[in-house]
Amino acid sequence: MPRAGSGRVQFTPRTDPPPLSTEEPMMNDPYERSAEYIDIMIADAWDAFDPSLAEALGGVDAVEGTIVDLGAGSGRGVRAVCAALPDDSPVLAVEPSPALRAVLLARVHEDARLRRRVTVDSGDALNTPLPDRIRALLAMNMIGHLPPGQRQELWARVAPRLAPGGRVILNLAPPTAP
């Protein structure tokens, strides 16, 4: 996996399986139609998250390891983490949606501070190679995308890598139906 720090945007491509049928176009990316609006639509929510996220990251400044943002979306969480922890520790931003990842890559590219620290990976929460030592793991607005069995698999992957004093930070999206 490439390392952050070269001053250029780093991206780890993955190959997706081909569609099962060529008769009907298959939409592999659930954000394909909404990605251009999501960053604007979630701006207020992230403005509210930022102080809580900074508080939740308190104390991990003494912890060594990589910060992992699963489901990094448009990169608002990456930006908030880098502001809360202004050291030069590496950040791995994982975003499987090509459309959201395009916004994430643009956000990282336009900020020299992010370019030095952030590596973008196109995998997902279950197939991205995780670093040996995780300082903090974010799963904002994404954990509900995983069924319970996959959540258990994720925690089994993360737990042995989480540094002593490290944090897992997530939120639960409100249900769309009662």
Residue 31's SS3 state is coil
Region of residue 123 (phi > 0: left; psi between -120 and 50: alpha; otherwise: beta): beta
- Token pair for 42: 């979630």
Task: Please check whether residue 139 lies inside any domain of the structure.
Answer: yes
Task: Please check whether residue 24 lies inside any domain of the structure.
Answer: no
Which residue segment(s) compose the domain that 125 sits in? 35-170
**CB contact at 8 A, 46 and 80:** yes
Task: Please check whether residue 27 lies inside any domain of the structure.
Answer: no
What is d(CA 110, CA 115) in angstroms, rounded to the nearest whole number?
8
pLDDT tens digits for range 110-134: 999 999 999 999 999 999 999 999 9
What DSSP state is assigned to residue 128?
S
What is d(CA 117, CA 130) in angstroms, rounded to the nearest whole number?
16
pLDDT tens digits for range 14-49: 555 544 444 444 457 777 776 676 777 777 777 888
**CATH at 143:** 3.40.50.150
Domain total of the chain: 1
